[in-house]
Amino acid sequence: MRALPATAGRGAVACAAAPVPRRSLLLSTAAAGAALNAEQLPLRLTGGAAAKIRAPADAAQAVTFTSTDDALAWTNKDNRRLLHVVYRVGDLDKTIKFYTECLGMKVLRKRDIPEEKYTNAFLGYGPEDSHFAIELAYNYGVDKYDIGAGFGHFGIGVNDVAKTVELVRAKGGKVTREPGPVKGGKTVIAFVEDPDGYKFEILERPGTPEPLCQVMLRVGDLDRAISFYEKACGMELLRKRDNPEYKYTVAMMGYGPEEKNAVLELTYNYGVSEYTKGNAYAQIAIGTDDVYKTAEVVKLFGGQVVREPGPLPGISTKITAILDPDGWKSVFVDNIDFAKELE
């Protein structure tokens, strides 16, 4: 998997969970939200490995793969990077204050859309064209969300876990796990919670180039999830660790070495096949050179496309939105269009 050039950036591309009002759709325009429910066209495969896979009816963007191997080869050459993670908060100013003062993030940009009654803020540890970032969404008048049991935590690498924890405590933050070695390992970690109850794992990683380093989600079938993210999303299995003493297994998935890139941490708890997802966490955005081909590969390997590929109404940025086998959403964003958004 080639590294994404530094010209790509983030994607303003989220959509609300079903229980959240229409106004909360995290897109650049209201019409874009409606597009997420566009009718999907079935994928018909004939002829086994030599089957041809065709895109939905978009006259200018017909896609054909001659085989599954052809589709995988394209995915492995695509320029991909985790761009940002999107989630909802009940008090934007309070959350920004916690992230900047306690976790050392910077506000990268902020935008208010009064006609749609929401505000977005982008925070992180470096420019969006080269670093993983957070997109916070505040919907006017909504002060609380259900995080659910499926979302796990975000990971932040720091030089000194103990000092970070003491700063969080001094600022009135909640420490839920004191600094110490991770269960079954040697890495020093701690856990804290932000004002909305999102958990952050603080990891001791001196000098890391990507401090915002993990998004952890729980899955009901780890092997199925690994296969999907490898084949449909083009990620690598960076490492896998089983902890029978504590009855869980984790798999780190991503587009580059863990010490230099943000990764998706998939966690399987023995015997648990399903989780509630709530309406707080939204999705991860991923850069791609071609959203049309991406959508076809996702369909081929069992994913659900919930927003057919194409430009968002009102702007030129092309996206496609998908669900993995556990129902977690990812949005793929055109790299060139994204770079233009950051200009």
List, by residue number, the catalytic residues.
Answer: 201
With a CB cutoff of 8 Å and minimum separation 6, the contacts of 59 are: none
Phi and psi at residue 109, to the nearest 5°? -170, 165
Residue 245 CB burial class (10 angstroms; 0-12, 13-18, ≥19): exposed
| Residue type for position 145 | Y
The β-bridge partners of 299 are none
d(CA 250, CA 229): 14
CA angle 237, 238, 243 (to 5 degrees): 90
With a CB cutoff of 8 Å and minimum separation 6, the contacts of 178 are: 165, 190
DSSP for 207-268, written as a single string: T-S-SEEEEEEE-S-HHHHHHHHHHTT--EEEEEEEETTTTEEEEEEESS-TTTS-EEEEEE
Residues in the chain: 343
The answer to whether 135 is a known ligand-binding residue is yes
The answer to whether 153 is a known ligand-binding residue is yes
Annotated binding site for Zn(2+): 135, 153, 201
Annotated binding site: 135, 153, 201
